[in-house]
Amino acid sequence: MKTAFASMLMASTIIAGVAPAMAEDVSLTIESWRNDDLQVWQEKIIPAFEKAHPDIKVTFQPAAPTEYNAALNAKLAAGSAGDLITCRPFDASLELYKKGYLAPVDDVKGMENFSDVAKAAWQTDDAKTTFCVPMASVIHGFIYNADAFKELGVEPPKTEQEFFDLLQKIKDDGTYIPLAMGTKDQWEAATMGYQNIGPDYWDGEKGRKALIAGEEKLTDPDWVKPFETLAKWAPYMGDGYQAQAYPDSQNLFTLGRAAIYPAGSWDISVFNAQADFKMGAFPPPVPEGGKCFISDQPDHALAMNAKTAHPEAARTFLEWVASKDFAELYGNALPGFFPLTNEKVELSDPLAKTFLSWRDSCEPTMRSTYQILSRGTPNLENETWTAAANVINGTVTPEEAAASLQKGLDSWYKPGK
């Protein structure tokens, strides 16, 4: 009996030991903060890849967006992070690369399909090494309830004046809350507010680069004006917007209770699933005599964990991510995330198409606080969240908000030195 048991143990050990060698299945894990996309990855993207590469199994392992950076840093330090790592744009990823956690991807096949601008968010400061394969950008704008607009007989606005006239009209009518936005989560105010309309005032890339070069200050009129405009939004936001969080705003709009939603394009897929009315979109209304700019923000990319146990399989996956096939699959599976590749990609979602069309009609730029300026403490991006929320809440004036931001920036950022 005893010997029989022992030989069974032996046998099972041998089988267990041999099994991996026989079937050379490699399994890769992807770290991400896109927990909203879990289903899309599991049902569309991963099966498409595994069909082409049956010997590689892929697991998508997302964390909550606000916890991702902290969790990832801790995992990388402990050596327990996944093989592929979704990259935040700019410094967060650069820091990971500098610490040696990410492998360079310059020699990955397909990297030549990306423009320098697309790669800029995931390069070293001298632009010599790229460490993430760009996946998608997000575009800001305003999504509106087309049925409500029809009912009220109004048209999407083009200029800032038209925008405020429209808000007033919707408010007077009283059926709908004009603007679905709250200040509780703070980032809504900064991202969907300040960074959404801001580029129209600071001339997009020109202003953004001048700020980095130190030629312009946040206290200049071009940078204070967006705050002034934001402050004027407050009367058109719902009752108690101070305690309205981001999901509240989303629900307010998809339930048909609000007319206009200051959006990031990533909201499109959520809204498509939840709203049962027609939706349209318009780019940020331009101020008097201004030009049209949009925030086309590089959002995420994919990198290889430098310490991965399966570098070959990870590289195969990255090559696939750099291909046109992936761009089309991804852009269509996740409407609202726009491929960064130079190849022509066809999107089928009408709302996403509208957003993408602005790349031709407006000048693209990205969020002013992301490149270099959020490198120190206090962090300009995080400070902007608080400042934008305070301005809308009316607890500080636009000038005070701008002054405190510039003071914080001055305390560590000395351009031109």
Residues forming contacts to other proteins in the complex (CB under 8 A) are 66, 69-70, 73-74, 88, 90-92, 95, 98-99, 182-187, 238-245, 248, 251-252, 369-370, 374, 377-379, 381-382, 385-386, 389-390, 393, 395, 408, 411
Instruction: Return d(Cα 104, Cα 306) in angstroms, integer.
Output: 8
Q: How far is the CB of 390 from other proteins (least distance, A)?
A: 5
- Half-sphere exposure of residue 334: CA atoms within 13 angstroms, side-chain side: 26
Q: Show Cβ contacts of residue 251 under 8 Å, excluding neighbours closer than 6 positions.
A: none
- Angle 263-187-230 (CA atoms, 0-180°, nearest 5)? 70
Cβ neighbours, 10 Å, residue 327: 24
Nearest to other proteins of 252, 351 (CB atom)? 252
Nearest to other proteins of 265, 374 (CB atom)? 374
Instruction: Return d(Cα 125, Cα 191) in angstroms, integer.
Output: 25
Q: How far is the CB of 414 from other proteins (least distance, A)?
A: 16
How does DSSP classify residue 127? S
Nearest to other proteins of 171, 184 (CB atom)? 184
On whether the CB atoms of residues 163 and 243 are closer than 8 A, the answer is no
Nearest to other proteins of 53, 307 (CB atom)? 307
Greatest Cα pair distance, the chain, in angstroms, is: 92
Nearest to other proteins of 194, 330 (CB atom)? 194
Nearest to other proteins of 357, 377 (CB atom)? 377
Cβ neighbours, 10 Å, residue 405: 25
On whether the CB atoms of residues 228 and 164 are closer than 8 A, the answer is no
Q: How far is the CB of 232 from other proteins (least distance, A)?
A: 19
DSSP E strands, 25-69: 26-32, 56-62
Q: How far is the CB of 401 from other proteins (least distance, A)?
A: 11
Q: How far is the CB of 382 from other proteins (least distance, A)?
A: 5
Q: How far is the CB of 32 from other proteins (least distance, A)?
A: 16
Q: How far is the CB of 385 from other proteins (least distance, A)?
A: 7
Nearest to other proteins of 61, 393 (CB atom)? 393
Q: How far is the CB of 341 from other proteins (least distance, A)?
A: 25
On whether the CB atoms of residues 225 and 219 are closer than 8 A, the answer is no
Instruction: Return d(Cα 3, Cα 377) in angstroms, integer.
Output: 67
DSSP E strands, 184-311: 258-264, 279-282, 293-305
On whether the CB atoms of residues 384 and 370 are closer than 8 A, the answer is no
Nearest to other proteins of 199, 408 (CB atom)? 408
